[in-house]
Amino acid sequence: MTSGTQRPSTARIGDALRNRRRELDLTLQAVADGVEVSKGFLSEVERDKASPSVATLVRLCDILGITIGSLFQHDNTAVVRVDARTPAVLGGTDLSDFLLSPKSAVRTQAILSIMAPGGTGGDKLYSWRSEEEFVFVVEGSVTVLLEGEEFVLLEGDAMTFDPRRLHTFRNSSATKQAQALFILSPPSV
């Protein structure tokens, strides 16, 4: 996490990233070059000493041929209890993300994002290598920035779009918390 709200028991993704990189017989430098980060930063991510931004994590997963959900240890049950949610380190500022779908889910990945006032998925626009992204505002108001357009979603509003388009999101309020449910459909394999 770069700054903002502290996350309890933050999931450690470094081992999964390092193991997958080694499985593919890729060097740290080759992956760092592909992701456009320094070798030192990637090494810190693999040792859980640094958290990548959403955009960086998306590029990492794309290069490694894995889904973000596969990085988080999770019980493979279909029911995910509120006290058993897996914290997900997806970058951003002043937000806490939780993987709601089991690690074994291959058709969808559900992520709950709890945003402090002014919280954001990041200033840099990013894209997912997925077929579709669905956003549902559970609480508050969330602004989705999609390739130069702004969509303000109020509590109860939903939006679906092609996540390969550059985008990011933020809590629209400077004084109230917001919560949004993001559902991603990974590409067909």
Domain ranges of the chain: 14-70, 74-185
Least confident of 6-15, 62-71, 130-139: 6-15
Q: At 177, which amino acid appears?
A: Q
pLDDT tens for 27-43 read 999 999 999 999 999 99
> DSSP characters for 46-94?
HTTSS---HHHHHHHHHHHT--GGGGS-----S---GGGPEEE----EE
Per the CATH hierarchy, to which homologous superfamily does domain 14-70 belong?
lambda repressor-like DNA-binding domains (1.10.260.40)
Q: 83: which residues sit within 8 A by CB, 6+ positions away?
A: none
The four Cα atoms 148, 149, 150, 151 give a dihedral, to 10 degrees, of -150
For residue 4, what pLDDT is reported?
37
For residue 114, what pLDDT is reported?
96
Higher-pLDDT residue of 59, 129: 59
**Residue range 132-139: average pLDDT?**
95
Least confident of 5-9, 89-93, 150-154: 5-9
Higher-pLDDT residue of 115, 79: 115
For residue 3, what pLDDT is reported?
37
For residue 74, what pLDDT is reported?
52
Q: Do 74-185 and 14-70 fall under one CATH topology? A: no
Q: Which CATH entry fits the domain spanning 74-185: 3.20.20.70, 3.20.20.80, 2.60.120.10, 3.40.50.2300? A: 2.60.120.10
Distance between CA atoms of residues 69 and 67, nearest Å? 5
Pairing of strands 132-139, 158-161: antiparallel
Half-sphere CA count of 54, side-chain side, radius 13 A: 23
Q: Which helix (H) or strand (E) holds 111?
A: strand 109-120
Q: List, in sequence order, every residue forming a beta bridge with 135; answer none if it has no partner.
A: 159, 182
